Structure 1
């Protein structure tokens, strides 16, 4: 019996899974089994050019919990998740040969490495059907072509709002799935049935007691179940109504939505969040807080569309700018990573990041600005450190935000320097945040 292969990427959920629905329909139409696969690439385990592992311990644990939750959801539907370790270009074709599959379905991710993975599968003769499903607004629904997208976010947002664009309604999770193939997967290179083994992740211990996002506790654990539970919990008065006023706070579990870790792994879809937020507004009324949540989700869309427009240029040393090549000072960069710069607010933020895998959006801006504008280090090194440390690392948002702060993106201003003294006075005048982390 032939098989349809579905490759989970940054969409580790069952609800609003249009790519998975496409694979289900194809398997049913052709009388095929359905094999569900996740691949962990060795490049995540090796040191980067900057001297540290690409995926740090915090993100490994959060992703392992996410995969375990997905395994549980699939098991309830009579399916299984095949976990493989190895280069995508090698392990997926080997998997396809084992189960007699020639067609792979997956989500479309418009970032260079992710596009190269898909091309590698095509190069060995597999048919790959990708589907865009990570944004609120579909690219082909925008009131402009991707190549003509406004370069400033304000115009991007205004044109979407003027056109009264609305996200697609999220799909429910499938009630049933085609059966998996009967082939023995254990013979495949890199096979395991344990997400913690796959990711070399520690499944013991607990979150840091002062963490803003205690990801080893049930309320913040990786996976669709926790994501949807948190969504309902947050969308309860007064939290959404206060969002605009509290979003720049440096600590506090209800000062921000904290949706980003689950969005990053795809355990919840942006469209599901919008649908629930819209329902909240219908019941409780809209206000600045609920609008600003929409506003932030559109920022996330903007960074995704920039990848469709500019592609690999977003990863060049100069970015989209005509600025000179960035300088770099490894010793200063190491002091920044370790929270030993001598600037208290920056050091507090960097120590929180390393200890917990999370820090507020405002603190990310402060520490990124300090690395680029005060220490004159390479913005790409900072982006790589965030990739390693953050439980909510998202390739499009991370790249977009670092380009924005460094002045190498689409923003008309040449850089966004955040004055540490002013930021300290505005956001930690009483010193409570610094007292916790210093």
Structure 2
């Protein structure tokens, strides 16, 4: 009797801990074939010539995939890396290695689900099954107190019922070894130029360095839980600092449950709200599909709005806090959620530019880009989101004088701008 081989298709789950598809494949198969595809679709350019995935985001992704490969090698395994459409690459590898089934984690955004459907159709042609798993949320959908179609559109109601009536499942075991077929060509890791991108400039103004991968993510989690902010929250104090864990959460280098239970061991709930918001937007995408972020009327686009959008994205609005935030986003690929809400509100409510343009720009720039969180948050700020909350509007023009700017990011570009206040500097 021939060995049973399962191909594990990694996407936004770049870790070996708490990874259901990997653990289940190890348990069910004689041999496991881990694969990652750099899909050219994500490195195409839009009508304006901007890349769908920018250099900073791509760099973090490359680091994360490379770290996954290293961690698999520690388990006597290997990660096959290819550049190409998964619907073409995966069936070829299945035939080459005698694969019996393919495992992957289900996505919710339409571009990702379209790719899954293409892979599923291609595998059916060679009589293979694509098995779907749910592994990107804190709460498993089967443990929610309501079916997906009845999930409350209000975040407050969603949070209250979920926290009261659901439980978070325990973290899954990590495989101790993985039996992998003899691989003839594992493939070389691409570099940015292979993906059509330039090397980003290492901006020395940022105090936080983001290095992709599960190894760095686990270190970052440990450092955060030992930080004064987390310890203050554990004692019942207010935590106003961002955990900055979202880049690793977005690519699945960190598991939501791992973060949740690690925080619980520290006796702090400081991270739970952040995780719940990620769940909320993901379940809203599952419930509403493309209607969720395509609802509403678009703003009229013309030369004036094009000029306003360019000023916004380049940090030339003459509003210090907005400009500092955009400079920091462009230089580092990361700004706090507070800053994101402020710059989004300014674009939508002050400049009256279509919110989708801002969401697409964030998709290019953010190293922690996640379709549901990004488009959900933008729709929420623009009033398109399904929440009943009424205070979406942030009057950034009125309040900007009271907001601190990051001096390093504002004075280099706008030396005439005032950056006297420092009380909220940590917010960006």
TM-score (normalizing by structure 2): 0.87
* Structure 2 counterparts to residues 362-377 of structure 1, below 5 A: 362-377=338-353
Residues 363 and 355 from structure 1, CA distance in 2 versus in 1: closer, same or farther, beyond 3 angstroms?
same
Q: Aligned equivalents of 1:238 and 1:335: distance in 2?
A: 38
Match of 1:307 among 273, 280, 285: 285
Distance 1:85 1:162, change over 3 A: same
User: Counterparts in 2 of 1:417-436, with a 5 A limit?
Assistant: 417-428=393-404, 434-435=410-411
Q: Secondary structure at the match of 2:9?
A: strand
Runs (5+) with no aligned partner, structure 2:
415-428
Q: Which residue of 2 aligns with 1:82?
A: 80
Distance 1:209 1:273 in 2: 29
- Counterpart position of 1:294: 272
Name the structure 1 match of 2:220: 230
Q: C-alpha displacement at 1:199, in angstroms? A: 4.5
Query: 1:250: which partner in 2?
Result: none
* 1: CA distance, partners of 2:44 / 2:228: 44
Shift of 1:241: 4.3
Distance 1:46 1:431 in 2: 35
Superposed counterparts of 1:153-168, under 5 Å = 153-163=155-165, 165-168=166-169
Encode CA deviations 1:210-239: one digit per residue, 9 max, x unaligned: 225322xxxxx1111111111111111522
Is the aligned partner of 1:406 residue 2:407? no
Q: Distance in 2 between matches of 1:387 and 1:377?
A: 17
Q: How much has 1:103 moved relative to structure 2? A: 1.4
SS of the equivalent of 2:65 reads: helix
CA distance change for structure 1 residues 361 and 259 in 2, over 3 Å: closer, same or farther?
same
Query: Aligned partners of 2:188, 2:175: CA distance in 1, in Å?
Result: 25
**SS in structure 2 opposite 1:239?**
helix
- SS at the partner of 2:170? coil
Pairs within 5 Å for 1:389-400: 389-400=365-376
Alignment partner of 1:143 is 2:157: no
Q: Take 1:332 and 1:429, find their aligned partners in 2: how far apart are those partners?
A: 21
* Partner SS for 1:37: strand
Over the aligned positions, Cα root-mean-square deviation in angstroms equals 2.4
Is 2:188 the counterpart of 1:192? yes
Q: Secondary structure of 2:7's partner?
A: strand
The residue correspondences of 1:114-125 to structure 2 (distance < 5 A) are: 114-124=112-122, 125=124
The correspondence of residues 14-33 of structure 1 with structure 2, limited to 5 A, is 14-28=16-30, 33=31
Q: Give the Cα separation in 2 of the matches to 1:112 and 1:426.
A: 40
Summarize the Cα distance change of 1:133–1:437 in structure 2 as closer, same or farther, 3 Å threshold: farther
Structure 1's consecutive aligned runs of 4 or more residues displaced over 6 angstroms after TM superposition are: 429-433
- 1:104 partnered with 2:95: no
The 2-side partners of 1:239 and 1:270 are apart by 20
Assess, with a 3 A threshold, how the Cα gap between structure 1 residues 42 and 89 changes in structure 2: closer, same or farther. same
Match in the other structure for 1:260: 246
